[in-house]
Structure 1
Amino acid sequence: MKNNIIFDDGSEVLFLSQTYEGKIHDKAICDQENYHFPENTSLRVDLGYLAYNPINVTIIIPKKKQKKGELSQESKDTNKAKSKERVIAEHGNAGIKRLRSLTDRLKLKLFQYQDSLMVIGCALHNLRVRSPIRKYASRTGELTL
């Protein structure tokens, strides 16, 4: 089961795609969902979205190593800085998966229940993020996919 989730800089879930079954690529989900972003949006993505290029959006993606080559030290440093910013999405995914029924093997075969569980996981994560006790700090105003 696979979903695409868009987070803001405060680790809040802004968008959750439908649940897709089987081995589907991240970019293929983006193409099927046909996302529309506001103008001048910066989008931090990982290498699974290498050919993804929506209109009026700045894509921030790490540089990929060539097949039989090495990255320069400068490229390694920029990739490290980009991954420090993208860790927000990884923490958001971990926050969603605190709902154990999302990580354990699910015996329900109906997609509507699997979609509902993912929506509940995202809602609980957003409730935790919006809590005044545990306020997440927003950094740059960019989105993470």
Structure 2
Amino acid sequence: MTREAARALVRWYLQTQGAGMSEGLNENGLGGTMVGSAQLYFEHHADTQVLECSALVYRFREDPKPGVIDGFRKQAQDGTDAGGGSVDFEEENKSLFLSRTYAQMPAGAAFTKDMERLMKASLSWGTTVLDRVARNVFGT
């Protein structure tokens, strides 16, 4: 997907969510929004020509303790609904996301449904799944 196509898709999506006249992605290929309690981020990767869509699960204040990120990955492997996304930990901002990528332009209705599923799952992962991982890793 070209950056212009990704920008148009994100612009359209943000406008359908009430964001008004958003450009979608900035000159660096980045964008984001809040929908209810969920935070969505968009990044176009020029090298691979894909649009990455990420719903925030949790932002750590410090580096996560050993086993925490692996605990989240195990939840996904064990079949916990990730809303069509995969576990994505970004070390530079210490944030855990559920992310999915698009190499081809999806239909608008399908993209909206995908984002709804991703956001719903991220909210569950930020509460219920987070608690489960903490119990498994720390025994609390």
| TM-score, length-scaled by structure 1 | 0.28
Which entry has the higher C-alpha Rg, 1 or 2? 1
Q: Which has the higher strand share?
A: 2
| TM-score, length-scaled by structure 2 | 0.29
